[in-house]
Structure 1
Amino acid sequence: MTSSVAAIKLVEFGARSMLILLCIYLMPAAEAARFGTVMLFVGFFSFLVGQERYVDLQRRISALSHVDAGAAIISYGRLISVGYLLGIPLLYVLLREFAGVTNQEALLAVMVAVVEHLSQECYRIVLITDRHRVLLFGSAAKTVVVLAVVSVIAIIRGHALSLESVLFWWTAVGCMWILLSAIEIRCLVLSGQGGERIGLRTQCTRSYRHFAIGLVAILALQADRFVAIRVLGVEELAQYFRAVMTAGAAYQILVICSFNRIALDAYRRLRLGEHGVVRMVFRRERAAYLLVMIAVPLTTEAARRFLGISWIEATVPPFAVVALACGSSLVRGVADFESIVLNHLHIESRVFLSHAIGLCTTVVAASTLGSTFGLRGLLCGSVVGSCAMAASLYFGAQRGLARLQGESRQA
């Protein structure tokens, strides 16, 4: 990934993170709880419409020409279309059932989900082939415009945002971006002419294993949030979403700057047998994760104590709450690198098992501790689940590499 692509994506994600945090902190507690729940299901939608296919796509495309890469991406688009047919009705039902939104708010949230998923797909396309980076420029501009509009509304209304107004303007700007992006998408389609296309059935067969892994992974990642919706009151739920979204913003920035930056090169080096180099890179990136996740709760606590701004003092969660949320994200972040090794070795069964362990542990620990001790207990349960998943991934990757090195010596 080139530095310019990383910079553009950082601008886009920075604007999106500011938008989400602005909304979650400026909305009243009841609205903030609903907004957090909507964003939870929007993220779940992104997975359902084909995100996990990207793992296999990236692994294959690292050795393909531009034409074949373009053809593979076009084929991937067909899989996304099928995902929309299945995912959109399910998203609408989940929003109406669990998020406490009106029919109009649910429809707007579905449109936001589609816009944000397409925005993320543009980033993935540019990661694979940066010839279409204008898509990422447009996506970043879209997010900045939405942030600007919501900021103006917040100023006009005196730091009081509503869920419906945010979703309306997010949808309006997003639909304009989709229309303007149609020209570059046509160029992408033309660039893949003549390349080897992958049939829909073949893609589903290849993606089945990663889909199953991804489904368990995203459930493990979001399990504590579903538990929170069930066991926490409105005030605690608003605090919970503020903490986990603050930690989540830091985690996603690290994914962009660290994990996504090194993933493709790590696959290449592992293919060449440079396991020691890959481990050294992993250690360096994990140190960056640790520093950032320590800085986040310290920064929020400093803002709450020393800025003297009333709405910050009233809405920023306590230090312990943010620290626990960051701790869970930190453990998951450092464990992500082991999945690169396991995917390279095609030991997807271990990845599946690890996320299943994390899911079960999180549900049991978060439900038990959350029901007994409230918000902080629930976050402690999330940390326990993250540690269980990380331990399983680490030992699985170590065992896989040891087996590979033993086979190499025998050969």
Structure 2
Amino acid sequence: MLVLEYKAVVKKSQSTAIDEAIRTSQFVRNKVLRYWMDNRGIGKKELYQYNTALRAEYGFVKDLNSHACQASVENVERAISRFFDNCKKNKQGLKGYPQFKKDARSVEYKTSGWKLHPTKRKITFSDKKGIGELKLLGKWDIHTYPAELIKRVRIVRRADGYYVQFCVKVDAIQEPRTGDGEVGLDVGLEYFYSDSNGYHEENPRFLRKAEKAIKHAQRRIYSKEKGKNNRRKARGRYARKHLKVSRQREEHAKRIARNVCKANTLVAYEELNVRGLVRNRRLAKSISDVAWRAFRRWLEYFAIKFGTQVVAIAPHYTSQKCSGCGDIVKKTLSTRTHTCKCGCILQRDVNAAINILCKAKSTGGHPGSNAWGVGTSTFLGASQAHASCDVEPRIPRLLAVGSVNLIYIRLG
């Protein structure tokens, strides 16, 4: 599923109508969820029947397109299924019990309730909420897809305005790789990641760099009187700064993941419990800022796009084990150099990355015959470096990075 996002030009009356549609969608979802909580054991059929009853009882629900109401029911159904699946799999920690929505920011239409203009630069919503015609800003990639392939249309409210998302049912087109290397990745806070070839990707620290401006914008909120227009504007400026940081993180993770998958046939990385790690109050901000989860998500996508095999490895003892002889060398977090009695001296994260790659291969992660062959760096265009468990890798020469292809495209 490809998601194309366009900035929408809206009038004040249209923004009010969109907000009302979002609130109605949230109302339907919460009412259906409450109905399921009060009547345990009911199935999908009963949920949709209750949705029909809501449309008959409330006029503002009937004004929203029927498919948009059904999309809200589908969200509840997915949340319930995910909860029971986690229970059956005996997932550790919280099982994800369905929660009520308090601040919904989107409304989703299915195949009705909207119509694209022949130029595909405008979209018209035809339900009784009064949204009407919205002008779309951005590059016109949507015109290359037939209208019947658009399975969902969402209106999303963000700090800097409203966006229209088109969910297009297309398969990812495989692209040729530029290299056939094998690499292990050790993510961290000092560096974004260190690979088994000795390359360190710098941690951009987007939040840390913007923190001063964000705190200043936050202080400006409390200097304004409650309920006044100036306070609302100050909150908007504060929210837009956070939105910029989140977009920077996502684009960075996307670009790096693409480079890694394009240059390698096998990528081994740590399977970290990010939700558990952010409970550390000393490191929570830094862990959230580095965006490990987004990086893994994009690795898995670009692995399909470039035909790369990605393997998630448990991180236990990867930092303590010597990649040369296999002995355990205890070290604290402050010790950044791995030194073993066998003569192996490596940067700590590089040693861990080599162990991650070895572990992926020893567990059948890569069926090829070239067990410890030549690997390429994760930086596109770099020269090849030998990556084995008993030879210290050489730092590759860095060249320019190619262009980036996106599955989630934000335009405007």
Q: Same fold (TM over 0.5)?
A: no
Question: Taking structure 1 as the reference length, what is the TM-score of the superposition?
Answer: 0.28
Q: Looking at secondary structure, tell me which structure has more strand per residue.
A: 2
Specify which structure has the bigger relative contact order, considering alpha-carbon pairs within 8 angstroms and separated by 6 or more residues: 1
User: Which protein shows a greater Rg?
Assistant: 2
Q: Looking at secondary structure, tell me which structure has more helix per residue.
A: 1
